[in-house]
Amino acid sequence: MDIQSLQTHARHVRQDIIKMTAKAGAGHPGGSLSCTDVLVALYFDVMKNVDPADDKNPLRDRFVLSKGHAAPALYGTLCERGYFDEKEFDLFRQLHGILQGHPDIKKCPGVDASTGSLGQGISIAVGMALGAKHTGNPCHVYTIIGDGESQEGLVWEASMAAAHYRLDNLTVILDHNGMQIDGTNDQVMSLGDIKAKAIAFGYDVIEVADGNDMQQVLDALYAPKCEGKPRYILLNTLKGKGVSFMEGQVGWHGKAPNAEQAEQALKELED
C-alpha cells in the first residue's frame, strides 16, 4: 500500500482513539497515539494472511499487543481494517462491550492474545513463535512492548528464551516514547542503554530514529531477517503523537480528553 494511504489510515485510527477514550471518559490515549503508525503498517501492509473474513486462518501472521493498555490503537486499527463496525466504539470499556479495557481474545475479533498484565504479551508471543516453528507454520509473530513495560523481569526472561530458541520468526517492537504513568522512564526506573541490552540479550536490533514516520517504520519492518535471531525494532516515538497538547506529556498516559479537548484534537487530526 502506498505511504499516503497508510498515513490516512493512521490518521483515522488516531481519530478513533480520541473518540473512543473521550466517549468512555477513560483509557490510555498517549501510548496509543505513539504506536499507531506501526500498528497500521503491520495490519495494512506487512502482516500476511490477515483477513477479517477469515480471522482464524492458521497461517495468518500473529500480533500481540504486549502493552495492552494501548488497546484503543489496536481497536482503531482492527476497525479500520474491517474486523468490526465502529459502533462498537460506543461500548469501549463499557458493560457487555467487545472492546474491553484491555484486549480480550474471547470477545474481540482479530485479537490473538489477551493482554494487559505487562510483560506477559511478549512471553506469549515467544510461545507462539516457538509453537509455529514446532508445527512448521510459516507465520511470523509480531509484538509491541512498552518502555515502561520493559521494567518487568518477564520481558527479559522471554527475550532470553527467544534468542535461545533462535526465533527468527519473531519481531519485538519497542514503542519507546520515554514515558510511563508516574513520569519519564528515567524518573521512574531508568532503562539504561536499552539498545545495548537488547543486543546483549541476543536480538538483531534495528533502531528507528522516528518511529512515527511511516516510511522509516516500513523500512524497519521489511528489513531482511537475520537467520536464527529474533528481531528487535527500537522505535523512538512521541507520546501523544498527532495531538499537539498531548505530545510529550506524561499526564496523557491514562487520562481521557474531555469533550472540548476531544473536539480540538479531532480538528488537528482532520483529513
- Give the residues lining the site for other proteins (CB under 8 A): 58, 62, 104-106, 112-114, 116-117, 120, 123-132, 134-135, 137, 153-154, 157-158, 160-161, 164-165
Nearer to other proteins, 63 or 75 (CB): 63
CB 47, min distance to other proteins, A:
16
Nearer to other proteins, 100 or 237 (CB): 100
CB 158, min distance to other proteins, A:
6
Please name which of 198, 190, 200 lies closest in space to residue 234, comparing C-alpha atoms.
198
Contacts of 81 (CB under 8 A, 6+ apart): 43, 44, 50, 52, 110
CB 66, min distance to other proteins, A:
10
Please name which of 65, 69, 14, 64 lies closest in space to residue 36, comparing C-alpha atoms.
14
CB burial class (10 A; 0-12, 13-18, 19+) of residue 109?
A: middle
CB 153, min distance to other proteins, A:
8
CB 1, min distance to other proteins, A:
27
Nearer to other proteins, 13 or 113 (CB): 113
Nearer to other proteins, 59 or 223 (CB): 59
Nearer to other proteins, 33 or 111 (CB): 111
Residue 214: count of CB within 10 angstroms of its CB: 21
Nearer to other proteins, 142 or 252 (CB): 142
Contact between residue 107 and residue 100 where contact means Cβ atoms under 8 Å apart: yes
Please name which of 114, 107, 112 lies closest in space to residue 92, comparing C-alpha atoms.
107
Cell numbers describing residue 226? 537475520
3-state secondary structure of 175: strand
Nearer to other proteins, 105 or 200 (CB): 105
8-state DSSP, 54? G
H or E segment and range at residue 235: strand 231-236
CB 83, min distance to other proteins, A:
17
Residue 236: count of CB within 10 angstroms of its CB: 18
CB 219, min distance to other proteins, A:
28
8-state DSSP, 90? G
Distance CA(116)–CA(148), nearest Å, equals 13
